[in-house]
């Protein structure tokens, strides 16, 4: 009886809130149904998925394998600047859409869990943000995506293994070699954490970032991890042209 009342109250409060602040789909901006979150069912259905988790030597893998020794790689969907789907990434990176980051991570993780690839991954590690940028944004979007991926794959998330040694310029406005130079040497491995993980038998890390563009950020993360004897696989939400 009491539960029923609370449920009724909370759904009336939700109803009132939606009357004043109606929830809209991040992609098409149409109003969401009560059981929809962030992205409407039609837009989710139309998400331009890469299906890279079904192709061992896919474009994401090839792009990264040119830079470092990578086991498996995949992105969830194609990023095009002219597509409305870019709003998913903008929302996650700049719009405080934390729940969306976790849910998109889960969607990616479900594909990977059902795939023949990524079987060797033992822990999920997000690309770290510099503490100052994290403080300004209030969260690290890669960490939220990693939490969703890890949940779907039944793996632990390890946020202490990698840290950012220096704040870098945003990669968005840089190109090619400038991107590589900007992040080179920007990440370091916490040796104590690395030893702890390896003692537990964890040697294969799944690195997570929001977008794969040139691959320079993932390569800069992989370098100290490979030097510390880890194997690396990578996954991102979006796959962008270079």
Q: Does 40 bind Zn ion (CB under 5 A)?
A: yes
Bridge partners for 188 per DSSP = 163
Span interacting with Zn ion, options 43-51, 55-63, 198-206, 224-232, rule CB under 5 A: 43-51
Q: Which of 16, 22, 43, 235 binds Zn ion (CB under 5 A)?
A: 43
Cα distances (Å, whole numbers) of residue 118 to 67, 113, 115, 211, 234: 19, 8, 7, 18, 9
Tell me if 64 contacts Zn ion by CB under 5 A. Answer: no
Residues 80, 239, 185, 196, CA torsion sign: positive
Identify which range of 22-30, 106-114, 120-128, 145-153 contacts Zn ion by CB under 5 A. 22-30
- Which one of 28-36, 77-85, 183-191, 193-201 is the stretch in contact with Zn ion (CB under 5 A)? 28-36
197 part of the interface to Zn ion, by CB under 5 A: no
In whole angstroms, the minimum distance from the beta carbon of 112 to Zn ion comes to 24
Q: Minimum distance from CB of 30 to Zn ion (Å)?
A: 5
Using CB under 5 A, count the residues that bind Zn ion.
5
Q: Toward Zn ion, which CB reaches closer, 27 or 205?
A: 27
CB of 84 to Zn ion, least distance (A): 8
> What is the distance between the alpha carbons of residues 63 and 65, in angstroms, rounded to a whole number?
6
Residue carrying structure tokens 């988790």:
53
Contact 187, 84 (CB under 8 A): no
If one asks whether residue 88 binds Zn ion (CB under 5 A), the answer comes out as: no
Q: Does 44 bind Zn ion (CB under 5 A)?
A: no
Element (H, E) at 168: none
For Zn ion, the closer CB: 43 or 142: 43
Residue number, 36 or 196, with CB nearest to Zn ion: 36
**CA-wise closest residue to 28 among 92, 103, 96, 83:** 83
- Residue choice 11, 15, 23, 28 for contact with Zn ion (CB under 5 A): 28
Asked if 25 interacts with Zn ion (CB under 5 A), we say yes
Q: Is 131 helix (H, G, I), strand (E, B) or coil?
A: helix
Contact call for residue 27 and Zn ion (CB under 5 A): yes
> Which among 17, 49, 19 has a CA at the least distance from the CA of 239?
49
Judged on CB neighbours under 10 Å (0-12, 13-18, 19+), 61 is buried
Q: Interface with Zn ion by CB under 5 A: which residues?
A: 25, 27-28, 40, 43
């Amino acid at each position: 009886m009491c539960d029923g009342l609370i449920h009724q109250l909370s759904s009336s409060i939700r109803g009132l809130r939606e009357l004043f602040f109606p929830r809209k789909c991040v992609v098409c901006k149409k109003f969401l149904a009560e059981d929809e979150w962030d992205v409407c069912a039609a837009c989710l259905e139309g998400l331009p998925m890469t299906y890279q988790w079904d192709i061992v030597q896919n474009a994401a893998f090839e792009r990264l394998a040119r830079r470092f020794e990578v086991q498996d790689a995949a992105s969830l969907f194609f990023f095009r600047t002219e597509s409305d789907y870019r709003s998913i990434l903008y929302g996650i990176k700049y719009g405080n859409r934390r729940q969306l980051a976790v849910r998109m991570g889960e969607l990616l993780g479900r594909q990977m869990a059902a795939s023949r690839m990524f079987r060797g991954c033992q822990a999920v590690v997000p690309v770290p943000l510099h503490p100052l940028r994290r403080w300004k944004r209030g969260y690290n979007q890669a960490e939220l995506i990693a939490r969703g991926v890890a949940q779907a794959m039944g793996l632990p998330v390890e946020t202490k293994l990698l840290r950012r040694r220096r704040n870098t310029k945003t990669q968005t406005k840089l190109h090619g070699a400038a991107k590589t130079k900007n992040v080179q040497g920007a990440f370091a491995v916490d040796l104590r954490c690395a030893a702890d993980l390896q003692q537990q038998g964890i040697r294969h890390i799944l690195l997570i970032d929001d977008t794969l563009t040139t691959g320079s950020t993932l390569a800069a993360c992989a370098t100290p991890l490979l030097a510390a004897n880890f194997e690396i696989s990578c996954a991102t939400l979006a796959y962008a042209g270079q």
